[in-house]
A and B are shown apart, each in its own frame.
Chain A
């Protein structure tokens, strides 16, 4: 049932921002007409471009600052460059980027291995926390996974035996 008492008025801060004259426009901004000047504002100093930065085709010019970490590289980089040929409203842009992200995961593992580092995927997935706070479910998952794997192995062996 709807609460019809006025107890809520005792909540700290109740109504402090309820002045109807302080109701901003939407989107919330202090409209000053600058929208009609389009991109004609005094720009900040421009950050030098020192690495490859992929730029949306919807941009008229490079923004004054940007991140320089992880420029596109490898197969995922090639796909990202291709994705940026499409504008932001096209699936060709976003789906290619998502695919590049998945390829990049494999590249990350290969990068680790090439640097003599075996990624500890269990630790990266936070399994230690599972062991501490969610042990029952973790153990259940391990038992189920072991049982399913064992069943598949037995089934494959049996199949091999029959075909031989």
Chain B
């Protein structure tokens, strides 16, 4: 089968690989219909996530048709079209049973801090991902769900990560009616988090980034204010001033370890790799939020350390909330929101690209060419 194949930082290609096999009685094999490139895929594409082995197939956002199933799979049938949450969750451990599906303890031998994730290095379990013609899906009756017939396939594939993660970013912010919410990052997750902040009753939503076309997209899709931090003298001071020198009620870090905006962070985090990436967005979030405010983190960071103003967290009494999204927990609510017409996630998709052109697809997304917002690969 044809599959994306990682060859090293900034190098991927489409290549024939052996078909995946049933390795556990609760596995299914799906014929992939669509697979997105996620912003967090760029961190492994750029070589920033430890234990990313050459030959890995990325892809943790995909939908497809069940073509083979294990002996213990009873509810799913051959031919079912399913959406596959990016988390691999058993549904039986203490964490899954409490809804923390991203923290499953039965899906990742290589690290205890993270649950299993499709195609996201051996640090997240060493599973091949869905940027391929076929993929193995463990615990098929726990996480995945049959795609309702009224849900568009492009919306379905965005329900595997982007929409739920953006929603959970806002949810973790504990937004109250009338709040001012600042989202750092106008990538797909930041755009979605800004859009979802309104569901919780925000009165003002501000997005900060430096890519003009993405800021313009955020203004339209997320109905928010959007500012280029390169044209602001100091984004923290700007937030303070624009909130009456009070600070934002909620700040969301939707950037993670590749944030621009600080030479010190960039050199120590990206060039010298002395910290787990550049934490500029988190730094700004902590310093922009009000005293007693909430910082919600969905940006991905590496497993070592980062330079952040932890003293200000203490002195300002800030609450930090963070997690990988528990997709399964949110699916019923988010499908409801799509059906009600509150949101049409597929509007953020800018590119459909054949899987065989995966090298170009990654470069377009990574280098932000052709006004790329979100890329979907079609096997």
Contacts and interface: CB of A to CB of B under 8 A. Distances in A.
Query: Do A and B make up one complex?
Result: yes
A18 B106 CA distance: 34
Interface stretch (A29-37, A146-154, A155-163): A29-37
A27 B198 contact: no
A29 B92 contact: no
Contacts of B111: 56, 88
Contacts of A38: 94
A84 B112 CA distance: 13
B370 A133 contact: yes
B342 A13 contact: yes
B125 interface: yes
B55 A32 contact: no
B373 to A, nearest CB: 14
A14 B180 CA distance: 14
Interface string A23-59: 1101111111011011101111101101001111011
A104 B177 CA distance: 51
A164 to B, nearest CB: 39
Interface string A133-149: 11000000000000000
A88 B109 contact: no
B309 interface: no
B230 interface: no
A98 interface: yes
B45 to A, nearest CB: 10
B55 A108 contact: yes
Interface of B: 7-13, 23-27, 47, 50-57, 72, 88, 90, 92-95, 97-100, 105-113, 116, 122-123, 125-128, 138-139, 168, 171-172, 174-177, 180, 198-204, 223, 225, 242-244, 273, 302-304, 319, 321, 323, 326, 329, 333, 337, 340-343, 359-364, 366-367, 369-370
A40 to B, nearest CB: 9
23 contacts: A11-B223, A13-B342, A14-B201, A30-B99, A41-B94, A41-B97, A44-B139, A54-B122, A55-B110, A64-B90, A66-B116, A67-B116, A68-B126, A69-B56, A70-B54, A88-B112, A97-B50, A105-B7, A109-B7, A124-B12, A126-B361, A129-B367, A129-B369
Interface string A59-92: 1001111111110000010001000100010010
A12 B198 CA distance: 9
Contacts of A28: 99-100, 168, 171-172, 323, 326, 329
B261 to A, nearest CB: 22
B107 A65 contact: yes
The dominant DSSP class at the A interface is: loop
Contact of B110 (A11, A41, A54, A107): A54
Interface residues of A, number: 82
Contacts of B26: 44-45, 65
A91 B276 CA distance: 11
A70 B56 contact: yes
Contact of B98 (A20, A29, A59, A101): A29
Given A16-B199, A64-B24, A129-B364, A2 B109 contact: no
B364 A67 contact: no
Interface in A1-21: 1-3, 6, 8, 11-18, 20
Given A54-B122, A119-B7, 8 more contacts: A11-B223, A13-B199, A17-B333, A18-B176, A34-B94, A42-B92, A45-B25, A70-B126
A130 B369 contact: yes
A108 B13 CA distance: 13
A42 B359 CA distance: 43
B43 to A, nearest CB: 13
A56 B364 contact: no
B340 A13 contact: yes
A58 B88 CA distance: 20
A89 B72 CA distance: 37
A18 B177 contact: yes
A93 B360 CA distance: 33
A42 B93 CA distance: 8
Contact of A126 (B90, B98, B99, B364): B364
